[in-house]
Amino acid sequence: MRRKPAGGLATRAHPTRDNALHGQGLPRMLSSMTGHLVGLSEIASMLGVTRQRASQLVRDYDDFPPPVAELAAGRVWETAAVEAWAEAHPERPPGRRMKEPGS
């Protein structure tokens, strides 16, 4: 975020000072707003796999929950939906899921 002071020169906003202006609650509020969302890196950590393997699981399993949003930074999922999916698939073989004959 850039600001123009009275002198007209652009300066970078100061994160510590700006957070102090908003009080201590802003970082906590943002955390509580986004704590229920996860991206591929968090999914990988949750499942104990690499980020690449998490991407394969998302792509290859038809019943993997759909993302709730697609941002410039990537897709995001609801944590609870991913956790439910993981409980329903306790043993996932490595590599690509085999398609059933005739599908």
Residue 57 domain flag: yes
More confident residue, 92 or 30: 92
pLDDT of residue 91: 78
Residue 15 lies in a domain: no
Q: What is the pLDDT of residues 46-79, one digit of tens each?
A: 999 999 999 999 999 999 999 999 999 999 999 9
In a domain, 102, yes or no: no
pLDDT at 19: 44
Question: Could you tell me if residue 18 is inside a domain?
Answer: no
Domains contained in the chain, number: 1
Q: Per the domain annotation, does 10 fall within a domain?
A: no
Give residue-wise pLDDT tens across range 16-29.
444 444 455 555 55
Q: Select from 35, 49, 48 the least CA-distant residue to 77.
A: 35
Q: What is the CATH number of the domain that holds 59?
A: 1.10.1660.10
Percent of the chain past pLDDT 70, that is, above it, reads: 54
Give the pTM: 0.59
Using CA atoms in the order 38, 64, 49, 40, what is the torsion angle rounded to 10 degrees? -30
Instruction: Look up the domain containing 58 and give its range.
Output: 34-90
Instruction: Report the pLDDT averaged over residues 34-53.
Output: 90
Any domain includes 9: no
